Amino acid sequence: MSKAKLEYEGRVYPIRLHKEWRESVKYSLGSKYLTIRVPKFIPNFMTEYHIEEAKNWAITQVQKRSENSEKVIKREYVDKGIFTIRDQDFILHIKEEKRKSFSGKIQKGKILIKAPQGHAGDRESLAKLMSRLMAAHFHDNFTNAVHHINNLHFQEEINKIRLKNNRSNWGSCSSDRNLNFSTRLLFAPFDVIKYVIVHELAHLKEMNHSPAYWAIVEKVMPDYKEKEKWLSDYNHLCHF
């Protein structure tokens, strides 16, 4: 089973199968692996069935990602340019220096960036830097929103809350009660951000996507499917 893999359009995704103490089956597709999580004592023939189902599901996800990647709006970062996020405008100041890496800081409505000589136009490196800067800039506000929603609806213990440059998902919840959120969410409307927060907080009560889990989400946010649709339809707007 460890040698099982998905091959599609020239790409190979090794399959990682996990048999766990859980009630439901979960598929997830990362940049390198297709992960399948099934109940511990599921019969072998059902395992084979879910592997095939997971492959079909993953192919659909790859196709969607390909379609979305063609629509992605890639922001340009140029000296004296304007960067807007969450209704805040920042003026970029990019200066080349004799250095090996990028660095930056936010100061009175300006984003001061130091770039290696000859690399001021390295969009990918600038995008990663901007993600880190925005994660730090909005961390307190985001954390306060998580705690506020948690206190209102869940009253669960939370360990750490992080904003990360994650492109494979919008959020995650670990068994250590750590909550991770993608910085891409900062480009989404607040009600959509609230949905992702609710989605991850609900995992503190149900670490799965069982009917019991979705009942918790729906009780807090009855129109959650509309927020999921926004993320599906407009995720191309949420990129650095």
d(CA 35, CA 59): 13
Nearest one of 18, 5, 16, 17 to 55, comparing CA atoms: 5
d(CA 39, CA 62): 25
pLDDT at 1: 47
31 pLDDT above the threshold of 80: no
Other Cβ atoms less than 10 A from the Cβ of 124: the count is 9
| 100-119 mean pLDDT | 96
130 pLDDT above the threshold of 50: yes
What is the DSSP secondary-structure string of the chain? -TT-EEEETTEEEEEEEEEES-SS-EEEE-SS-EEEEEETT--HHHHHHHHHHHHHHHHHHHHHHHHHHHH--PPP--TT-EEEETTEEEEEEEEEES-SS-EEEEETTEEEEEEETT-TT-HHHHHHHHHHHHHHHHHHHHHHHHHHHHHHHT------EEEE--SS-SEEE-TT--EEEEGGGGGS-HHHHHHHHHHHHHTTT-SS-SHHHHHHHHHH-TTHHHHHHHHHHHGGG---
Place of tokens 């918790």: 216
pLDDT at 2: 52
Give the architecture (CATH level 2) of 123-237: 2-Layer Sandwich (3.30)
pLDDT at 21: 85
pTM of the model: 0.74
- In tens, the pLDDT along 193-232 reads 999 999 999 999 998 888 899 999 999 999 999 999 999 8
- Would you list the domain boundaries of the chain? 5-71, 123-237
